[in-house]
Copies of this chain bind each other. A is one copy, B any other.
Amino acid sequence: MQRISVLSPATVANLVCGFDILGLALEEPSDLMILTKTESPGLVIKNLDHYGLPTDPEKNVAGVSLLAMMAAMDNPPGFELQIEKRIKPGSGAGSSAASAAGAVAAANLLMGNPFTPMELVLFAMNGEKLASGVKHADNIAPCLMGGITLIRSIHPLDIVKITPPELHVTLVHPQIEVKTSDARQILKKQILLKDAIRQWGNIAGLVAGLTLGDHDLIGRSLEDVIIEPVRSILIPEFDLVKKRSKEAGALGGGISGSGPSIFMLSKDKAIAESVGEAMKEIYTKAGIDHSVYVTTINHHGVKMIPS
């Protein structure tokens, strides 16, 4: 095989009470990436979109991830990587992770799977480091593996895949800018033990609800008393979106990644669509450009498609 095309999905990290540890993959949107082996060594990146992202591999999140992988190969071939980004950069829906994970997953498939999924996560974390300054894996892992992933530990890397019951996801991207680095800076370094206890009760409830397929328990556990109260002030209409989404029947939700996107989980598609309508109404009234996706959880992660 000389060429491969893959779809690399958007992801929601910081799943409400699961800050830095829980993420999920979405069926839509996905970036399209086409990777070709070339005669000449090295890596060439070409953009098929109009976001104007850097094509210098050292400055591109897909580039640095794939270079890390090539450095681990004995005789790496040359590659040309074409990227059509469909996940807006800066939306909080794992755009950088999709580029980083998609590139290494495509190369691994093209080379006959020389690397393990854990190795792919480690290569792709170089992309996150370039994008946000932090080598986090909570978008990378669900992007590569699909479903919901738990990062139990970063050192050593310990990732657990959780297969959730049927869940529909509504994601709204209000088109304002929230920098990941700003969103991280406003967090307090110290928190109250009593808040931490409430948070780990919810985390435990959420994981139990997901593994046992208990939608009500999932809903009751979707509460974040530590990060959301601080970060949500950066997102206009956050409280209203949450209130209206729950009134429309959503189980709950919160900030996607570090924002500004907001996601909501629902038990069925009809509810997820009503939630989407409520979101549209709120941001239309507020005069803020926005995109809404009504989708489900992606269970396979990065996927090969016919070239």
Chain B min CB distance to A164 (Å) = 12
Known: A160-B217, A190-B191, A207-B207. A200 touches B197 (CB 8 A): no
Known: A150-B201, A203-B204, A205-B150. A191 touches B189 (CB 8 A): no
Known: A160-B217, A196-B191. A208 touches B211 (CB 8 A): yes
Alpha-carbon distance A152/B225, docked complex (angstroms): 13
Alpha-carbon distance A20/B202, docked complex (angstroms): 12
Which B residues are CB-close (under 8 A) to A204? 18, 21-22, 150, 152, 203-204, 206-207
Partner of A197, one of B19, B202, B207: B19
Alpha-carbon distance A188/B194, docked complex (angstroms): 10
**Does A38 sit within 8 A of B, measured CB to CB?**
no
Closest to A194 in B: B189
Alpha-carbon distance A240/B202, docked complex (angstroms): 33
The answer to whether A152 and B221 have CB atoms under 8 Å apart is yes
The answer to whether A208 and B150 have CB atoms under 8 Å apart is yes
Chain A 163-207 per-residue mask, 1 if CB under 8 angstroms from chain B, else 0: 000000000000000000000000111111110111111111111
**Does A212 sit within 8 A of B, measured CB to CB?**
yes
Interface of chain A residues 10 through 63 with chain B (CB within 8 A): 17-22
Which B residues are CB-close (under 8 A) to A201? 20-21, 150-153
| Total interface residues in chain A, CB < 8 Å | 40
Please tell me how many copies of the chain the complex holds.
2
**Does A158 sit within 8 A of B, measured CB to CB?**
yes
**Does A220 sit within 8 A of B, measured CB to CB?**
yes
Which B residues are CB-close (under 8 A) to A17? 200
**Does A162 sit within 8 A of B, measured CB to CB?**
yes
The answer to whether B196 and A196 have CB atoms under 8 Å apart is yes
Alpha-carbon distance A198/B152, docked complex (angstroms): 8
Which B residues are CB-close (under 8 A) to A208? 150, 160, 162, 207, 211
Which B residues are CB-close (under 8 A) to A189? 192-194
Chain B min CB distance to A239 (Å) = 21
Closest to A190 in B: B190
Chain A 252-270 per-residue mask, 1 if CB under 8 angstroms from chain B, else 0: 0000000000000000000
Chain B min CB distance to A194 (Å) = 8
Chain B min CB distance to A32 (Å) = 33
Which B residues are CB-close (under 8 A) to A207? 203-204, 207-208, 211
Partner of A160, one of B193, B194, B205: B205
| Sampled A-B contacts (17; CB under 8 Å) | A17-B200, A20-B201, A21-B197, A21-B201, A152-B205, A153-B198, A153-B202, A153-B205, A188-B193, A189-B192, A189-B193, A189-B194, A190-B191, A191-B193, A204-B207, A207-B207, A208-B211
Q: A21-B204, A152-B201, A196-B200 are in contact. List 5 more A-B contacts (CB 8 A).
A: A22-B204, A160-B208, A187-B193, A188-B193, A196-B226
In the A-B complex, the 7 residue pairs with the smallest Cβ-Cβ separation, listed nearest first, are: A152-B205, A211-B211, A207-B207, A196-B196, A190-B190, A200-B203, A21-B201
